[in-house]
Amino acid sequence: MELRKADPAVAIDMLLIVHSEKRRAAHGSHPERPADAPAPRRAGLQGVVGNGIRRWQKFEGDELHGTQLTVEVHPRDTMPQLLKKFSLAKRLQGDKNGNTRPRQPGGKDALAYPWDRSSLKSMALDLQQFEKLDTYASQVAVKSGLDELVSDLLQEAHSDLERVRAIWIWICHHIEYDVQAVQEKDRQAFKPTEILRTQKTNCDGYAGLFEKMCRIAGVQCMTVPGYSKGFGYQVGQSFSGEFDHAWNAVFLDGRWHLVDSTWGSGLVDSATSKFTFLYNEFYFLTHPALFIEDHFPDNKNWQLLKPPQSLRQFEDNMYHKSEFYNKGMLSAHPDVAMIRTVNGKTTITLESCAPTLFMFMLNGKQEHGLLSLKKNGMKLDVFPPAVGTHKLQIFAKGDSDVYSSVLEYTLKCNYADLGARLPSELHQPVGPSWFSEKMGIVKPSHPDPVIHTTDGRCCVSFGVEEGVSVLASLHGDDGPVTEETQRRYIFQLQREKRTELKVQLPHAGKFALKIFVKKQQEPGNYVFVFNYLVCCSNTKVSWPVFPESFGNWGQGNELLEPLSGVLPANRDVPFKLKLHGVAKALVKGQDTWPLTLNRDGYWEGSCSTEGCQEVYVMVLENANHNFYSYILKYQVNGQ
């Protein structure tokens, strides 16, 4: 029952539960919480901090014992606690239009589960239509009380949807999550008048303020308590005891819709306990099939789903963070959070609605994985380095300049494949993709990210758009590949509009062949685009470096011999190479040996390495000049 008076109101909410004498005798009149009952959870703000929600204690089955009488006296602008908890109790408080008993959700409010990928929202929205309203609502200041604030907000709102939007935007941009009030369990922080004064509260205050403002605006709104996968959530954990979060349902266009202004407003850093306003559009009129991933209401009807999900399903289902959908993700496989490796390997694929950049971290490091970009998604092969449990995080960039965590897995590895060890310098992504094409590299000779070679040599080529320069380097974890020689195991040739990379591995093993580009009209350094994983198991492989080439090693030039950048001492070494646009060519060691142009267009000759440590190939580009330029440099083995 509810006793109501005129302003200021006093409400007395009473619930009387009567059991038979036999049942009371069996259970006693004043049961206490069992000693082994689970401790209350607190997780109200998404992924960051607990919320100090009011204690809506669960009463189910045998938990209802004896006779219970609850009397609550509170100011007009607060809401009764206990009535919310019971599905049999309906809200009696009316809105300013005199609407009492907001309709409980029914079949026509429910949307199909699982998500049909049609929209992130529960109703058709064009967010651009809110641009002017959002700007206005975010700048409205509190002048006096709540009624005047709502009245000011509604100046630019002309429908129930716009009224709800204006209230949502104002709360998300003005109300700070109050970590201190949560820790001190300050119930004053729940009151709308106190929230307006301090502009701080917790999730219960957010939900209560949102409901109160909607009702002043003439929109039906309910506060929904429940469980959430927020701060402190661990994959696979169970939920029990008091509820840890609260959000809202609003009645628009004849149906109920879900919002969470707490999680829409920002984040609290768990290390510093500092709140940062970081608006999250995802939690405004969220599609129920997505909302259920991290919100489980006390009453299954407030899931707004058909079929509704059980608490066990909520606990077991894969949790996709809001950024998963904000960044345009559609699905992930596997769709369970706990996965096991098979023969030391596991594979994860993500599907996105548009080309997206990804990265990953295994135990906080970008190692032990091959991430390949697909046209609409990515594929990731992970090789955990040791037996045990590993944390795998996947990040996506989307339309922003910042990578955000979109998915998290727990990997169980019972066997570590040491033979699958990858070079530490192997960065992501591997293999050419839509991104490398965007950066000016097209039609690669090797579309796959892994290149296997039996003799330690390979030749990679790709088209290069006009105005784009390419740079490559080779990286391994051991052997003679040093920073000085990273590019000397690659010899780069330019043929018309294609770049060719001749690669000779210094020894057997796995190497990262990194590809960098620079657009000539843009300032700055070369930018990493992708790399290949080059593998060779032949232990007899032992190739020396290529000769060092200089900047004027021109387009169309070709080196046939000698390919080794280290020449034997005291030998006559033959030279053969194709050079374009030169008048003369020579080889300089202790002495100078000219090269002659044959009928096939190759410059040929020989040079003695006696008495010298370095040998140069030099060219005269104009017959009228007498200045020769260095184009190749060889080392000579010690005497």
DSSP 352-412: ESS---EEEEETTBS-SEEEEEETTEEEEEE--SSSEEEEEEEEE-TTSSS-EEEEEEEEE
Instruction: Check: CB of residue 578 under 8 Å from CB of residue 598.
Output: no
Two tokens, residue 155: 């100046």
What CATH class has 325-417?
Answer: mainly beta
Two tokens, residue 595: 């090269």
Res. 40: pLDDT tops 60: no
Start-end ranges of CATH 2.60.40.10 in the chain?
325-417, 434-536, 548-636
What integer pLDDT is reported at residue 526 of this predicted model?
Answer: 92
Cα-based torsion angle of the residue sequence 263, 264, 266, 270 in order, rounded to the nearest 10 degrees: 10
Give the Cα separation of 208 and 221 in Å (integer).
10
The CA distances from residue 213 to 77, 102, 154, 160, 222, in Å, are: 10, 15, 11, 12, 11
Res. 77: pLDDT tops 60: no
Res. 93: pLDDT tops 80: no
Backbone phi, psi, residue 438, to 5°: -60, -30
- SS3 call for 206: helix
pLDDT digits (tens, 9 = 90+) for 521-564: 888 889 999 999 999 999 999 998 999 988 778 777 889 999 99
What integer pLDDT is reported at residue 422 of this predicted model?
Answer: 94
Superfamily of domain 434-536: Immunoglobulins (2.60.40.10)
What integer pLDDT is reported at residue 34 of this predicted model?
Answer: 32
Q: How confident is the model at residue 480 (pLDDT cuts 50, 70, 90)?
A: low
Residue 253 annotated among the catalytic residues of the structure: no
* Cβ neighbours around 484 below 10 Å, total: 8
Range with top average pLDDT, 52-66, 68-82, 552-566:
552-566
pLDDT digits (tens, 9 = 90+) for 377-409: 999 999 999 999 999 999 999 888 889 999 999
Q: How confident is the model at residue 440 (pLDDT cuts 50, 70, 90)?
A: very high
Give the H/E segment covering residue 435: helix 434-438
Q: Taking the CA atoms of the chain, what radius of gyration do you get in angstroms? A: 35
Average pLDDT over residues 574-594: 92
pTM of the model: 0.77
What integer pLDDT is reported at residue 477 of this predicted model?
Answer: 84
Q: How confident is the model at residue 101 (pLDDT cuts 50, 70, 90)?
A: low
Res. 434: pLDDT tops 60: yes
Average pLDDT over residues 280-289: 97
- Of 391 and 41, the structure prediction assigns the larger pLDDT to 391
Q: How confident is the model at residue 189 (pLDDT cuts 50, 70, 90)?
A: low
Q: Which residue shows structure tokens 């019971």? A: 86
Contacts of 535 (CB under 8 A, 6+ apart): 450, 451, 452, 453, 509, 510, 511
Residue 203 annotated among the catalytic residues of the structure: yes
Maximal CA-CA distance, the chain: 119
Give the H/E segment covering residue 210: helix 203-216
Q: How confident is the model at residue 267 (pLDDT cuts 50, 70, 90)?
A: confident
Q: How confident is the model at residue 503 (pLDDT cuts 50, 70, 90)?
A: very high
User: Out of 134, 178, 204, 245, which one is annotated catalytic?
Assistant: 245
Average pLDDT of the chain to the nearest whole number: 84
- CATH level 3 topology of 548-636: Immunoglobulin-like (2.60.40)
Residue 30 annotated among the catalytic residues of the structure: no
Average pLDDT over residues 217-235: 90
- SS3 call for 312: helix
Q: How confident is the model at residue 493 (pLDDT cuts 50, 70, 90)?
A: confident
Q: Which residue shows structure tokens 């490559």? A: 472
DSSP 408-426: EEEEEES---GGG---TT-
Question: How far out from the chain centre does Cα 208 lie?
Answer: 31
Average pLDDT over residues 555-583: 90
pLDDT digits (tens, 9 = 90+) for 201-219: 988 999 999 999 999 999 9
Give the Cα separation of 593 and 605 in Å (integer).
8
What integer pLDDT is reported at residue 46 of this predicted model?
Answer: 58
Residue 502: closest CA among 560, 551, 566: 560
Average pLDDT over residues 271-285: 91
What integer pLDDT is reported at residue 528 of this predicted model?
Answer: 95
pLDDT digits (tens, 9 = 90+) for 132-157: 999 999 999 999 899 999 999 999 99
The beta strand positions in 241-357, using DSSP E, are 245-252, 255-259, 266-269, 274-277, 284-286, 295-297, 305-306, 329-333, 338-340, 346-352
Each residue of 32-44: b (16+ CB within 10 Å) or e? eeeeeeeeebbbb
Lowest mean pLDDT among 3-12, 191-200, 612-621: 3-12
User: Out of 13, 174, 203, 612, which one is annotated catalytic?
Assistant: 203
What integer pLDDT is reported at residue 184 of this predicted model?
Answer: 67
DSSP 151-166: HHHGGG--SHHHHHHH
What integer pLDDT is reported at residue 44 of this predicted model?
Answer: 61
What integer pLDDT is reported at residue 45 of this predicted model?
Answer: 60
- SS3 call for 282: helix
- SS3 call for 67: coil
- Of 99 and 565, the structure prediction assigns the larger pLDDT to 565
Instruction: Check: CB of residue 69 under 8 Å from CB of residue 16.
Output: yes
User: Out of 134, 178, 260, 294, which one is annotated catalytic?
Assistant: 260
Average pLDDT over residues 223-235: 87
Res. 94: pLDDT tops 80: no
Lowest mean pLDDT among 72-86, 220-234, 261-275, 454-468: 72-86
- SS3 call for 316: helix
- SS3 call for 232: coil
- How many percent of the chain have pLDDT more than 70? 82
pLDDT digits (tens, 9 = 90+) for 298-339: 999 999 999 999 999 999 888 898 999 999 999 999 999 899
